[in-house]
Amino acid sequence: MQNRQAVRPALFYLLWLLQDDSPMGTNDFRSTKRNIDHAAITSSDGTGLYIESNGEQHLRASVESDRIAVFLNDWFGGTASQADEWVQNYGAGRVVKPHDRLQGVLRLRLLDSGLKSH
């Protein structure tokens, strides 16, 4: 019985990945990647973006009709759920008070496919 309980979360995650026919990209692609060190969004030929972070930023992407939208966030406001599981997994967030100054740094590099036109 214990083995069956261990398989359930993995099976749920696999189904979550596979049962996704959204034109905005898969669940996995669109999900927020928290506390990233780096990320890359590339096309099949290797062109794209490389993002370097300090482990405190979060990245989310989605497919739009004519582009890939990429969001890099320094701020997380927490979750509306008061369930302990949500707060433990995602954190309490940062309260922003009137007149607080929010700032961040974006380190972005354009990636070239390495192909040169003649």
Beta bridge partners of 61: 70
Could you tell me the pTM of the whole model? Answer: 0.67
1 pLDDT band (50/70/90 cuts)?
very low
Mean pLDDT of the chain: 81
With 0-12 CB in 10 A as exposed, 13-18 as middle and 19+ as buried, what is 99?
exposed
pLDDT value of position 16:
66
Q: Tell me the pLDDT tens digit for each residue of 51-95.
A: 999 998 999 998 888 988 999 988 877 777 777 877 777 777 778
